[in-house]
Chains A and B, each alone.
Chain A
Amino acid sequence: MEISSDLVAVGLIERDTNNDILWTWSYPSIAYEKRNLLIQKCGLECEPGSGGPIPPVTFRYCHHHRAWYYIYTTEVFDADKLPKVRQFALVLQTLEFNPEKYVNLSRILSKIYCKMGDPTAILNLYLSVIIRGSCTTEENGTFLSREFDQKAAFAASPIRNVINTFGLESILIYTALILKKRIIVYHHELDALLSFMRALPALVWHRQNWNILYPYMELSESECAELISLKTYAAGFTDASVETRTDLYDVFVNLAATEITVASHAKEAFGMSKTHKDIAMFMVRQAENTELSNQDIIREISSKTMELLNNLKSLSSEEEDGHPVVTLESLKEHKLAASLENFLWNLAVAEGFVKV
């Protein structure tokens, strides 16, 4: 028996025949502000089919205050059970990043709600997943929580696309991530944005921290305040005007135009050295090697990063209870190039190798 305590809450947002978007049901509860935020982001605002040639995104997720929200939208074609509802979005609040797992679960829950027209059916299955770690439906098969490993979710990143998109320039993203800077990515299409975003933390695999990811943000006051309270993040925006908010980012990635801009206040930390060039060449080479899978590329880059960190550790002057400690003086002793010295120092700071 396995207890899946990562699930926090489940909710339903419905769009009825009056085009009214209403939060209709939740278990156990989701705070009012969160609800408003999710209503904003659930994608029910635009009419189905009116979105032009772009198909509506049925599954999306966002991250706020250490909670992950997975939203799965369904259109109601069979009006028997839900006569007044045209479209609904199922919201899952969880503690972990695992899109594959929750897309499955939310699909099953949505189907059952569509069929029964009764949220108690959702609750039944939801409780079953919480208690037993699995649920079974007649038509949509079984959902087994343990089938979805978090590592696998982390590794399922289209990192090759990321590197191929930006080529040698992807070193800027890598540097920003490894130095714990703030990255903002813009793409007008949510699907492309989400797929790109989830690959970013994989570049710093050794940290295993997907909580820096804020894949779908908007320029609302509360969300900006959330970002400002953070020291490092990789945030995705679908609003192009975010480029003007230089206070929010150190690196701005315009995915739609394949451009990377380093904010003027962060230029100093992005001085490129030979090491950078090495890593950039290495990354591009790995991405070009078609024999390697995405996981392999992640592994290779990770080992390259470890190499870099070992290098840094070897430069450390002393050790303190097993932790390497790097001081600026010891770095200066090695007479490195200014940009490399700057980079290594920043890296040491990011990795916590600095003497407190």
Chain B
Amino acid sequence: MEEVDHIITHTLKQLGCDIDDEVRRLHDFTTELVVEGVVRCLQQILPDKNLSSHVPPSMAAKYRLGSALAEACTELGYKGEIGYQTFLYSNDSELRKIFIFLIEKLPKEAEKVTDEPLGKSDLLNRAIAEELSRQLKLPWLPNYCKPNGLRWSSPNKWHREGCRGTHALHTCNLFVPRDITDSNSKVVQVSHCHFWVVTNLYLNPLFASSVYLDFIIISSHHAKKYFIIFMQDEKNIEVPVTGPALKKPDTEEDLKSRREEELKTLQSEVDELSRQLEQLELQMKQYNASLQQIGEQILCEEAKNKELEEIYKLRKRTFDLLPDADNNLKKLQEVVEASGQRLVVLARQWEKHRAPLIEQYRHLKELSSQRLSETQRKLEEIKSLREKMKDCADEARSKDDLYKQLLAEYERLTKDVNRSAYTRRIIEILANIKKQREEIDKVLIDTKAIQKEINQLSGKLDRTFTVTDELIFRDAKKDEAVRKAYKYLAALHENCSSLIQTVEETGTIIREIRDLEDQIEQESQKKVADNLERITADYKQMKQENSSLMTQLKA
């Protein structure tokens, strides 16, 4: 029982009751403490109920408080006997029952979100989960209750539902008159902003809703301002136009003829202009053609010129050599041959330099490519190592996070001694129960063994008696002494059985006595007499109070 009391005091302390550390058992509870504890429990269970935890001095008020508490408990479903006296004149076992009942009824404390270090993705996930569960909890609504597929769950919170009212994004340009130079930038900004907000809205309706609403208010404010400016402009323009028109009221025909005239002149003007245009176009075409042709001719002529120049040079030299043609031809041929030979020789010499250089280049290139491949290999190795490092770091970080989380959890756990104490105690209790059961089993086995022995013995007795009875009965007809003995036997048997019966009866009576003793103890624990006395005393006191009040009233 001590354990239970400890748990109750702990719980009450948690609820905010001012309990001294010395108070460890329900037996030590004062009336005030009992009332406070019960009231606090009830306040937790029924937050609407307004109960005072202060015990008033007046008897009637005390009675009222006590009965209100009792009523609340019965309303909650307490089945046991309960009245105002239960709280005022506390009885250990009853109080224990009531407190156990109330503590069971206490609302399970919502798991407080501890300040765990959370990542952004966790926060987002949590937010999404919350939002989804919120939306799922909402009752279904028909389509016409959701304008544009929007559903308002609170004055400034909404979400989209169903596919009605989803549209592709449409935007249009904002045309701003040039006159408003100073405020131009603002409008442009606003339009950009609008675009941004709308896109964002489509991507993320969850978070943008409030921003969007704010924005609409701003933008509509702007629009109104500029609209007013345009209106003013238009008015300014219109006034001078309508003014003179009103001064000259012409007849319909005049107007018509004048209009026709004007039309004719304009038509002729247009014709003239288009003719000119045509002509100009023609001219342009011709000029373009000439341009193209001239360009081509220039190119052609240039090429020809170059060719001719070269031919001229060649011819000139030929001409110089012409007088002694045969000789010169021969000479020329020789020169050409010689220079050809020389060129070949030179090429051979060049080759002597070139070939080793190329060879060297290739060799070096090969080396460098080898080195390059090695570098690449090393680079790759480094990359893989770096990746591994990254992985390790990630792992370390995640483990760190886990550690932090666990630490937080651990801290939360250590604060709550209650729980571990409970479990420990429950385990102890369970062990006790187990032990008890074993003992009960042992006793049962013993009882059974004894029963068996009894049965055996009674059987043996029965058999022995019948055998003896027969033997003696046979001899009894002949012998007088035997007859007497038979009589004695019968008497013995009878007496013995009655003896056994008496023993059995004694046993049952003893058991009954024990039961009754238990009952008596229980009843005596309830202190009915005391309670009755107290209640009658209370009654008397109340009567007295009433009469004094009456006298006061009368006086």
Residue positions of A touching B, CB distance < 8 A = 1, 16-18, 20, 22, 24-25, 27, 84, 118-120, 123-124, 127-128, 131, 180, 231, 327-328, 345, 348-349, 352, 354-356
Contact = CB atoms under 8 A, between A and B. Distances in A.
Given A127-B343, A231-B292, A356-B294, A328 B286 contact: yes
Given A18-B365, A25-B354, A328-B285, A349 B343 contact: no
Contact of B296 (A27, A231, A327): A231
B340 A18 contact: no
A352 B282 contact: no
6 contacts: A119-B351, A119-B354, A231-B292, A345-B285, A345-B289, A352-B293
B347 interface: yes
A130 B340 CA distance: 10
B455 interface: no
Top 10 nearest A-B pairs by Cβ distance? Answer: A349-B289, A127-B340, A120-B347, A123-B347, A354-B289, A120-B348, A356-B290, A18-B365, A354-B293, A352-B293
Given A118-B351, A123-B343, A16 B362 contact: yes
A131 B337 contact: yes
Interface residues of B, number: 28
A20 B362 CA distance: 8
Given A349-B292, A352-B296, A119 B347 contact: yes
Given A24-B358, A131-B337, A131-B340, A231 B347 contact: no
B366 interface: yes
Contacts of A120: 344, 347-348, 351
B359 A349 contact: no
Q: Is the interface of B mostly helix, strand, loop or mixed?
A: helix
B344 A123 contact: yes
Contacts of A348: 289
Contacts of B286: 327-328, 354
A355 B365 contact: no
Nearest to A122: B347
B361 interface: yes
A349 B297 CA distance: 11
A18 B285 contact: no
A231 B351 contact: no
A18 B369 contact: yes
B296 A354 contact: no
Interface in B296-325: 296-297
Contacts of B359: 84
A20 B285 CA distance: 55
A22 B295 CA distance: 41
A309 to B, nearest CB: 15
Interface string B270-290: 000000000000100110011
A352 B369 contact: no
B336 interface: yes
A23 to B, nearest CB: 10
Given A131-B337, A352-B296, A354-B289, A20 B365 contact: yes
B312 to A, nearest CB: 15
Contact of B290 (A16, A20, A84, A354): A354
Interface string B327-368: 000000100110010011001100100100011011001100
A180 B295 CA distance: 13
Given A348-B289, A349-B293, 6 more contacts: A18-B365, A18-B369, A22-B361, A231-B295, A231-B296, A328-B285
B348 to A, nearest CB: 5
A123 to B, nearest CB: 5
A356 B293 CA distance: 8
A24 B355 CA distance: 9
A120 B359 CA distance: 17
Interface in B444-489: none
Contacts of B361: 22
A27 B347 CA distance: 9
B33 to A, nearest CB: 92
Contact of A18 (B289, B295, B297, B366): B366
Nearest to A16: B362
A97 to B, nearest CB: 15
A21 to B, nearest CB: 11
Nearest to B366: A18
Nearest to A27: B347
A338 to B, nearest CB: 13
B365 to A, nearest CB: 5
A231 B285 CA distance: 17
Contacts of A119: 347, 351, 354
A16 B336 CA distance: 36
Contacts of A1: 333
